[in-house]
Structure 1
Amino acid sequence: MTRIAGQEQLPWLHLDSGGLLFNKQSRLSAGQEESGKNAAAGIAEAMEAMRCRALGIAAHDLAGGVAFLKQLQQERQLAWLSMNLVEAASRQPVFPSWLMTETAGLPVAVLGLTGGPETLAAAPDKADYVVLPWQDVLPEILRQARGKAAVVILLSSYPAAVNKEIAAAHPGLHIVLTSGPGAAASHPALSGGALFAQTGAQGKTLGLLRITWTEAGRWAAPQAEDENLCRFNARLIPLESSLPEDAAVREIISRAAQRRTAGKNRRGD
């Protein structure tokens, strides 16, 4: 979970790069399906309440099936993004490839990229969908976005090495928010001209990224003195149980837990 702000007095741009649903599960057993989907629906409702602007799609988000994720999108005001998760028959994207938004008066393009073909391995409806290679889709989407946005952000669930390859090949990317497998929360760093950030798994860390954006559209290197270049500062905030709770989100979580318990009771677990 990452929030980006250009100026403190303006609203945050709240983004999530994927892997949000089903915790560590990439496959739901028959006995877990109802309770797992109830929990996932509760997470989606909470993200809607927190006004998450866009979410990437990773393997864990598909444990309940692509059709289930489509259902969540229809039920909630959430923008799940993936330019390369497509229908097998038509090769048309299942979800929007990207969206335009704004923060601090800056037009921002947010793009979604789902990590390789193995992403679908455990999805119960995997035969109906395909994950295309990023090389087949990203150049055209970037071309469209660059003509409209001052800042281009990529939400990617590819592994770290692939994300760095992507940034090196496409200097038009300004920020890459990742949810690659096995990576822990890490302080943002520059690579290939893009700023990389990841907050780790299971929503246990909030990443807060504050940006000073300039017409140069390029990041200043660490300790650089050129004031015309773009700069950032970041905080990684552990979401500990001692932090104050949001009452509305707490109520959503409670309802999700009740639905999950009711499902287990019906099955006699």
Structure 2
Amino acid sequence: MNHFINTIAWATFPHQQQPMPVAALEQLARQYPYAPALQLLLAARLKETQDPGFAGQWQKTLLYFKDPLLLQYQFFAEQQRPASGIPPASAHDTEVQQADAEAGPDTSEAPIPIPGLKLEPLDTAKANLLFTPYYTVDYFASQGIQLSDDNNTGDRFGSQLKSFTSWLKEMRRLPEATSGIRFSIKNEAVIEKMAEKSLNGQNEETAAMAEVWAKQGNKAKAIEIYQKLSLLNPSKRAYFAAKIEHLKK
């Protein structure tokens, strides 16, 4: 009998060491007619003894199981399962594996050298910028547009372009013009006094007065007025600084 039948026989008769005779199985099958295991074991015993009553018992046994095809496959399966496709290891291979296991891991291999990073000192001569910052470059000059005061073409576009270029140059000098302005306690007192007079309408000076002085040729007086206005109006300090720089030219 195959492994499937042997398992069922051991589960049904755990204390039975020898195969039961056909007569004993037939008596148990009649005594317990609703036991599928007894019907299956009786059919297996009849097949083993080549009894002519096997065919009828087998058809009766199939009625006790839900899946007769699976039962037929397991019942008629060979006693030994087919060997797998992996060939058994030879004695030589076994000896080689045992020798490798006894030798242990090979730690004699030399470590792999890892190249380090080579840090070179920075050359100060090469560290200089290879380009000019954009804020120091004249935009129109970089585009190939050259403006000269000698070429008075009278063109409206040229005049606007010159005025815009001049404004850019003056704005570029603003940080230098305002960098020297420092406030102290004395200057703050002067500013407060000037602001008080301005609120009272005393000694009021405006940008228009400075322009009048500049047109009359008194640039020093115009610069003085612009300086006062710069102190009175911190938000317009850059504007008045540009005016002062224009008068100093």
Please, what TM-score do these two structures have when normalized by structure 1? Answer: 0.21
The structure richer in strand per residue is 1
The structure richer in helix per residue is 2
